[in-house]
């Protein structure tokens, strides 16, 4: 699993902020940092948030799951389907 | 629960804390500071927003608020901000809200250390949870807020204090629940109760404390605060973030994915009362905060874009829930049908009867009439057989005998523009926090879960 983070609301978020996030939450997966900000993806009024977004890519490199709402059941079902039995 | 309405906000405001009292709700938002809503009607009505002290304490362009404490006897509230890149210094500010349309600032405080989270106030005494450090006692005198004592436990993650008489209960992260005697100026630690997960919020009711944590909910007997006893710990479906009291031995929990109510009369066997997904105009919902007014049977849920009001019925009954919250089919060709599973669940206390499941002309389902026992689910197959490759945006509707929400709909999409399930994933090359470069090609042959987010 990879976490991919944008640079906060305004693009001035430091790497140390992300490191603090990792410390506080205890996440163990790698966190990758992009250069875009929240407003690069949000609509002009901010009414539709681009985050969070969960994507599952299958062994063939194709998208098997793509959803902005966190749905653990659907993600587990997708992973179970993709993993070798 | 019966949805009553949503406040007039549809932009990203990120509600982080709610105190509901009488006909008012004091709502912290990470984007627009403190907002106060009139909740006497069905949908909450905004009275004032962007309440923040300004000056040296807060950024007036982006007023932020993380937590709120309220003293009904003096009509005083305290709001806090933890400090971040927008407002570098953590702060708290005290307001007189006798006139909720015109909050009057009484004083503020900004420490040179730590990060302020939850807060409690009684009269002129204030207790702030300092994340990463512990508990600080403060006093409002004139227009000055000054620190009077610290009860710092190095390394703890203090989240939320709550007061009852001379007892203060502190949800203290990995340390669990701490109980203090605050009869004197200097809080005296009486006991610490280790709990599963990281404790984040706490309620006091009679001789009990209810604690929300990453491990679920805990019920602790605090009749003797020097020797508290854990009566029960129970995992919950989501992640327990915020608590509110529904009535005697009944609580509602903001669990990120939904609001869930529990009857804790028997601390060993919590009884689910409801599970309420907060409806939004968007395709997702994140329930971060909850407030309740027990004598009005009202529950308020705060998510990223709005404040929602519900009427709570303590009487038992069936409760219809649907998962996932949307059915996304990706690209589906005519004469090559595809199917998704829709989970129909009953989180109520009586059997749920489903009368009908319907969709548009190109949708068929394998079951339309069935009964779901309390706490159980039924998986039904939703098949899409489109007549063309045109974009599809429709829904599947489930009709039941749920007394509050008999009919629920799940959006269904297919053949929409942009990336979809089945498309090749776009390549990327990004560095992790250690400077290592990762590419999607490195993961070929594996199942990769990519979680996109931003920290603010």
Task: Tell me the residue range of the domain where B135 lies.
Answer: 2-311
Instruction: Specify whether B232 is located in the same domain as B375.
Output: no
Cβ separation of A14 and B85 shorter than 8 Å?
A: yes
Q: What is the model's pLDDT at position B221?
A: 98
What per-residue confidence (pLDDT) applies to B8? Answer: 63
- B86–chain A Cβ distance below 8 A for any pair: yes
Tell whether the model's pLDDT for residue B20 goes beyond 90: yes
ipTM above 0.90, yes or no: no
Task: Read off the tokens for B45.
Answer: 């009505």
Q: With pLDDT > 70 as the criterion, what percentage of chain B qualifies?
A: 95
- The edge-to-edge listing of strands for the beta sheet with B216-221 is B199-205, B208-213, B216-221, B229-234
pLDDT band at residue B57 using 50, 70 and 90 as cut-offs: confident
Give me the residue from A33, A42, A56 closest to B449, CB to CB.
A56
Let me know whether B186 and B307 are in one domain. yes
Peptide bond into B324 cis (omega under 30): yes
Check whether B319 has a pLDDT greater than 80. Answer: yes
Shared domain for B238 and B91, answered yes or no, is yes
Closest CA to B213 of B191, B246, B238: B238
Q: What per-residue confidence (pLDDT) applies to A45? A: 44
- Inside any domain, residue B346: yes
pLDDT of B98 over the 60 cut: yes
Tens of pLDDT, residues B199-258: 999 999 999 999 999 889 999 999 999 999 999 999 987 789 999 999 999 999 998 888
Nearest chain A residue to B432 by CA distance is: A32
Helix then strand then coil, in percent of chain B rounded to 5, is: 0, 55, 45
Same domain membership, residue B262 and residue B243: yes
- Yes or no, beta carbons of B424 and A61 under 8 Å apart: yes
Phi, psi for A23 (deg, rounded to 5)? -65, -45
Q: How many domains does chain B have?
A: 2
**Given A22, A62, A68, which is nearest B423 (Cβ)?**
A62
pLDDT confidence of residue B283: 47
- Model confidence at B189: pLDDT above 70: yes
Distance from the Cα of B24 to chain A's closest Cα (Å) equals 25
Residues 48-77 of A with CB under 8 A from B: 48-59, 61-75, 77
Q: What's the token pair of residue A13?
A: 């978020």
DSSP state of A72: H
Residue B252 included in any domain? yes
pLDDT band at B3 (very low <50, low <70, confident <90, very high): confident
Interchain proximity B430–A47, CB inside 8 Å: no
DSSP B269: S
CB contact under 8 A, B85 and A18: no
What is the C-alpha to C-alpha distance for residues B123 and B72, in angstroms, rounded to an integer? 9
Whether B324 and B200 share a structural domain: no
Size of interface A-B (CB pairs under 8 A): 174
Q: What pLDDT was estimated at residue A6?
A: 57
CATH code of the domain covering residue B151: 2.130.10.10
The model's confidence at residue B21, banded by pLDDT at 50, 70 and 90, is: very high
Q: Are B318 and B310 in contact (CB under 8 A)?
A: no
Q: Is residue B299 domain-resident?
A: yes
Other CB atoms within 10 Å distance of the CB of residue B222: 23
State residue B372's pLDDT score. 95
On whether any CB of chain B is under 8 Å from the CB of A80, the answer is no
Tokens of B16: 């982080």
Which tens digits make up the pLDDT trace of B113-170? 778 899 999 999 999 998 777 899 999 998 899 999 888 776 678 899 999 999 999 9
Residues 300-319 of B with CB under 8 A from A: 304-305
Please tell me whether the peptide bond between A52 and the residue prior to it is cis, using omega within 30 degrees of 0.
yes
The CA distance from A74 to A66, in Å, is 10
In what side-by-side order are the strands of the sheet with B2-6? B2-6, B307-311, B298-302, B289-293
Is residue B275 predicted with pLDDT exceeding 70? Answer: yes
- Tens digits of per-residue pLDDT, B398-433? 999 998 789 999 988 888 767 778 889 988 888 888
Structural domain spans, chain A? 1-46, 52-85
Same domain, B251 and B328: no
- pLDDT recorded at residue B26: 97
Could you tell me if B275 and B319 are in contact, meaning their C-beta atoms sit under 8 angstroms apart?
Answer: yes
Do residues B256 and B337 share a domain? no
Same domain, B376 and B294: no
- Residue B224 lies inside a defined structural domain of this protein: yes
Kindly list the distances between the CA atom of residue B98 and the CA atoms of B27, B34, B45, B65, B103, in Å, as whole numbers in the listed order. Answer: 16, 15, 18, 20, 7
Least confident piece of the model among B55-59, B268-272, B318-322, B370-374: B55-59
Cα separation of B378 and B376, whole Å? 7
The pLDDT value given to residue B344: 94
pLDDT digits (tens, 9 = 90+) for B331-379: 888 888 999 999 999 877 789 999 999 998 899 999 999 999 987 899 9
CA neighbor of B15 nearest in space, from B310, B251, B241: B241
- DSSP bridge partners of B384: B338, B363
Give the one of B12, B330, B444 whose C-beta lies nearest to A46's C-beta.
B12
Residue B438 falls within a domain, yes or no?
Answer: no
> Span B81-106, mean pLDDT?
88
Task: Give a yes or no: residue B450 inside a domain.
Answer: no
Residue A61 is predicted with a pLDDT of 92
Q: Note the pLDDT of residue B282.
A: 53
| Two structure tokens written together for B170 | 């502190």
A3 closest CB neighbour out of B304, B423, B453:
B453
Alpha-carbon gap, residue B188 to B175, rounded angstroms: 16
Which chain A residue has the Cα nearest residue B10?
Answer: A47
Which has the closest alpha carbon to B4: B29, B38, B34, B39?
Answer: B39
Domain annotation covers residue B433: no
Q: For chain A, how are helix, strand and coil distributed in percent, rounded to 5?
A: 30, 20, 45
- Taking chain B, what is the end-to-end CA distance rounded to the nearest angstrom? 32
Are residues B65 and B211 located together in one domain of the fold?
yes
- Cβ of A46 within 8 Å of Cβ of B11? The answer is yes
Number of Cβ atoms within 10 Å of the Cβ of B94: 26
Q: What is the pLDDT of residues B294-307, one digit of tens each?
A: 888 999 999 877 89
The predicted structure's pLDDT at residue B55: 78
The verdict on residue B360 lying in a domain is yes
Q: What is the mean pLDDT of chain B?
A: 88
The parts of chain A modelled with pLDDT lower than 70 are 1-17, 20, 24-25, 36-51, 69
Which positions in chain A touch B425 (Cβ < 8 Å)?
Answer: 55, 57, 61-63
- Are residues B424 and A66, on separate chains, in Cβ contact within 8 Å? no
CA distance A18 to chain B (A): 7
pLDDT class of B456 with cuts at 50, 70, 90:
low
CB contact under 8 A, A2 and B450: yes
């Amino acid at each position: 699993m990879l976490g991919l983070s944008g640079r906060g609301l305004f693009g001035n978020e430091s790497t140390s902020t992300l490191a603090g996030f990792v410390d506080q939450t205890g996440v163990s997966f790698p966190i990758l940092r992009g250069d875009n900000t929240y407003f690069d993806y949000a609509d002009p009024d901010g009414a539709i948030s681009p985050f969070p977004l969960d994507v599952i890519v299958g062994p063939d490199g194709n998208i098997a799951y793509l959803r902005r709402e966190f749905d653990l059941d659907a993600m587990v079902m997708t992973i179970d389907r993709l993993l070798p039995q | 629960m019966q949805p009553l309405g949503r406040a007039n906000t549809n932009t990203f405001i990120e509600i982080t804390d709610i105190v509901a009292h009488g006909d008012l709700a004091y709502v912290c938002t990470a984007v627009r500071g403190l907002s106060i809503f009139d909740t006497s009607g069905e949908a909450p009505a905004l009275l004032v927003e962007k309440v923040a002290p300004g000056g040296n304490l807060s950024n007036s362009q982006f007023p932020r608020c993380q937590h709120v404490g309220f003293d009904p006897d003096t009509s005083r509230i305290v709001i806090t901000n933890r400090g971040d890149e927008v407002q570098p210094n953590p702060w708290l500010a005290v307001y007189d809200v006798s006139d909720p349309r015109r909050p009057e600032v009484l004083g503020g405080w900004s420490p040179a250390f730590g990060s302020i989270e939850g807060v409690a106030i009684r009269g002129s005494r204030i207790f702030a949870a300092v994340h990463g450090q512990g508990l600080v006692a403060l006093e409002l005198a004139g227009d000055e807020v000054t620190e009077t004592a610290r009860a710092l436990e190095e390394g703890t993650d203090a989240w939320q204090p709550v007061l009852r008489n001379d007892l203060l209960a502190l949800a203290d992260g990995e340390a669990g629940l701490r109980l203090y005697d605050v009869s004197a100026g200097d809080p005296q630690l009486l006991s610490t109760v280790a709990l599963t997960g990281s404790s984040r919020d706490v309620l006091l009711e009679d001789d009990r404390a209810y604690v929300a944590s990453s491990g679920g909910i805990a019920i602790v007997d605090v009749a003797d605060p020097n020797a508290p006893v854990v009566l029960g710990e129970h995992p919950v479906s989501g992640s327990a973030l915020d608590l509110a009291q529904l009535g005697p031995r009944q609580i509602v929990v903001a669990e990120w994915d939904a609001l869930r109510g529990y009857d804790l009369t028997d601390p060993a066997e919590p009884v689910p009362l409801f599970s309420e997904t907060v409806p939004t105009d968007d395709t997702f919902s994140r329930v971060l905060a909850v407030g309740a007014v027990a004598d009005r049977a009202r529950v308020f849920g705060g998510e990223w874009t709005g404040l929602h009001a519900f009427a709570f019925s303590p009487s038992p009954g069936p409760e219809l829930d649907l998962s996932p919250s949307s059915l996304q089919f990706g690209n589906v060709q005519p004469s090559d049908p595809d199917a998704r599973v829709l989970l129909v669940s009953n989180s109520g206390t009586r059997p749920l009867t489903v009368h009908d499941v319907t969709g548009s002309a190109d949708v068929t389902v394998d079951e339309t009439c069935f009964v779901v026992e309390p706490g159980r689910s039924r998986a039904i197959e939703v098949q899409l057989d489109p007549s063309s490759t045109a974009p599809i945006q429709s829904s599947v509707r489930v009709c039941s005998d749920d007394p509050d929400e008999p009919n629920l709909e799940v959006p269904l999409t297919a053949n929409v523009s942009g990336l979809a399930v089945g498309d090749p994933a776009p390549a990327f090359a990004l560095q992790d926090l250690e400077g290592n470069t990762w590419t999607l090609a490195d993961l070929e042959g594996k199942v990769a879960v990519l979680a996109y987010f931003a920290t603010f």
